[in-house]
């Protein structure tokens, strides 16, 4: 919730999405539009949940790798186009101002990764999953500079893992 407003996303079947703002006066206002796969076979479909950044803007990544910024007045800018071989999940903003997230890679040979993304769009892989240590990562949080997350699959019984990642900044 920002300035008394709530933000959400409505998806259509082909990935088309409208990000909306619900004001404290209960008015629903379309905020930003993303075209679906039928209209745009590139990468603008299925935007992730937004993260409100320290700079007051909103950031997110589409499932197919468009890293974008939304200003508080709804201006959308694609900052970078990331590796299309990965399916990107929701971002978080780390205490250092960079964004962090997980992505699912094509299996085999790559069941996924944890990555850092600068506000300018430079992506750095921080760790890869191999199946034994997890596969299909889907969540990530930061607690006092250490990242924790879960995977949907992989591990000893192929039922997912909980992981911890400490990185040098």
For 35-68, the pLDDT digits (tens) are: 777 765 556 777 888 899 999 999 998 888 889 9
- What confidence tens digit (pLDDT) does each residue in 54-105 have? 999 999 988 888 899 999 888 999 999 887 778 888 899 999 999 999 998 8
What is the CATH number that goes with domain 6-130? 2.130.10.10
User: For a pLDDT cut of 90, what percent of the chain falls above it?
Assistant: 45
Q: What is the pLDDT of residue 2?
A: 65
Asked whether 141 and 95 are in contact (CB, 8 A), the reply is: no
How does residue 107 score in pLDDT terms, banded at 50, 70 and 90? Answer: low
Percent helix, strand and coil across the chain, each to the nearest 5 = 0, 50, 50
Q: What is the pLDDT of residue 9?
A: 82
Q: Is 88 exposed, middle or buried, given 0-12, 13-18 or 19+ CB atoms closer than 10 A? A: buried
Residue 69's CB is within 10 A of a number of other CB atoms, namely 18
Q: What is the pLDDT of residue 99?
A: 96
Asked whether 64 and 83 are in contact (CB, 8 A), the reply is: no
Rounded mean pLDDT, 2-21: 80
How does residue 156 score in pLDDT terms, banded at 50, 70 and 90? Answer: very high
Instruction: Retrieve residue 41's tokens.
Output: 């076979």
C-alpha angle 30/33/38, rounded to 5°?
Answer: 135
Q: What is the pLDDT of residue 42?
A: 59
Q: What is the pTM of this model?
A: 0.86
């Amino acid at each position: 919730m920002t300035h008394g407003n709530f933000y959400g996303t409505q998806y259509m079947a082909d990935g088309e999405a409208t990000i909306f703002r619900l004001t404290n006066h209960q008015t629903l206002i379309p905020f930003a539009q993303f075209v679906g796969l039928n209209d745009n076979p590139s990468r603008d479909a299925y935007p992730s949940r937004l993260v409100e950044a320290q700079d007051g803007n909103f950031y997110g990544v589409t499932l197919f790798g468009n890293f974008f910024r939304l200003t508080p007045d709804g201006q959308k800018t694609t900052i970078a186009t990331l590796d299309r071989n990965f399916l990107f999940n929701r971002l978080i903003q780390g205490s250092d101002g960079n964004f962090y997230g997980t992505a699912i890679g094509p299996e085999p040979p790559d069941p996924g990764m944890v990555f850092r993304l600068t506000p300018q769009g430079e992506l750095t892989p921080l760790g890869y999953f191999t199946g034994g240590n997890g596969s299909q990562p889907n969540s990530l949080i930061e607690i006092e500079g250490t990242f924790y997350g879960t995977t949907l699959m992989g591990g000893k019984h192929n039922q997912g893992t909980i992981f911890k990642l400490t990185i040098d900044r």
